[in-house]
Amino acid sequence: MSGVSPAVNETSDPAESTLVRAARRQPVTHTPVWFMRQAGRSLPEYRALRKGIPMLEACRRPAIVTEVTLQPVRRHGVDAAILFSDIVVPLAAVGVDLDIVPGTGPVIAKPVRTREDLDRIPELTPEHVPDISQSVRLLVGELGGTPLIGFAGAPFTLASYLVEGGPSRNHERTKALMYGDPGLWHDLCDRLAQISGAFLRVQAEAGASVVQLFDSWVGALPRADYETFVLPHSTRALAAVADLAVPRIHFGVGTGELLASMGSAGAEVVGVDFRVSLTDALRRLDGRYAVQGNLDPAVLFAPWAVVEAQVRRIVDEGRVAPGHVFNLGHGVLPDTDPAVLTRVVDLVHEISQR
């Protein structure tokens, strides 16, 4: 394999790529685009490579991580790669007994409910994840001027998985612990902030040009509770890479009412899900941050005329932002036609030329 460098990238230095410049609110030649969950399940070449290999194992094998991460860059010509991994990888790395069950998601063998349960979870060090550093270094060598995005799960979402024992619709055990034993809750989230922050730092120090903190479940909270029980810990996780020249993206699902608070956690870019227009998001953020988003992933199943109209609307809304990275308002759905994703990339590049 030689380097992968889509034609839209005009530099051999990923730190000066269109995506990194947009994240830093600097002038760009076009709106950069990538897709959450672009590396994986919608691509037939991914399914062929992963056949018979459990998800957690695939995430810890640098050759597989490298190939899967590169696949959507080759196919779609996106402006960034995102490391093929999962938000629970660092938890497994520090010894949490878990599995990623197909069709369900992460399942924790012994949920965290007591102080003794928390005491079994150590802090993360680079020695826990040498394969992640290796994967990032391999990818940086292949990607040339295309930036690599590293990522981690945010403390609230990781805490929810740990406390619930797996995915949850209502987060009842999570909220019961949060409200009923705030001391244990904060200690748990503090430990998870260290793990998430250290995982981000490992990726950035190995060569990732951008990092993203995913808070998939935090939209279950009202703003006051977010600011009390979550914001300090997300702030700590993002602060772990504050001294590195790496823009940070902070994304959550169902977080329209939390956007201003999420921005204050320290990221340069605030991800916006598909439930809030970029226009409304920019107003709530007071124009202080670059934004990322936010096409509804389900729209990709509609006729092309519908997809095109929605893409054009979002690009137009993003023109007034200090910086705009085009993305979906959540991850690529498994049955998405890859050809439609490629057409979206081409369209964004075409209509956003400066």
Q: Which residues are identified as catalytic?
A: 37, 41, 50, 86, 161
The values of phi and psi at residue 271, to 5°, are -80, 140
Can you tell me the distance from the alpha carbon of 159 to that of 354, in angstroms, rounded to the nearest whole number? 43
For residue 45, give both structure tokens: 């070449």
CA proximity to 98, closest of 178, 155, 162: 162
Strands 248-252, 269-271: pairing kind: parallel
Following DSSP, what letter does each residue of 316-334 receive, concatenated? HHHTTSSSEEB-BSSPPPT
Can you tell me the distance from the alpha carbon of 256 to that of 206, in angstroms, rounded to the nearest whole number? 33
Q: Do 21 and 30 contact (CB within 8 A), yes or no?
A: no
Can you tell me the distance from the alpha carbon of 17 to that of 209, in angstroms, rounded to the nearest whole number? 9
Report, in angstroms and rounded to the nearest whole number, the Rg of the chain calculated over CA atoms.
Answer: 19
Q: Do 33 and 79 contact (CB within 8 A), yes or no?
A: yes
Residue 297 CB coordination number (10 Å): 19
Can you tell me the distance from the alpha carbon of 232 to that of 285, in angstroms, rounded to the nearest whole number? 19
Q: For 295, which DSSP code?
A: B
Amino acid at site 75: R
Strands 98-101, 105-108: pairing kind: antiparallel
Residue with the two structure tokens 């992460």: 106
Maximum distance among all alpha carbons in the chain? Answer: 57
Can you tell me the distance from the alpha carbon of 212 to that of 26, in angstroms, rounded to the nearest whole number? 19
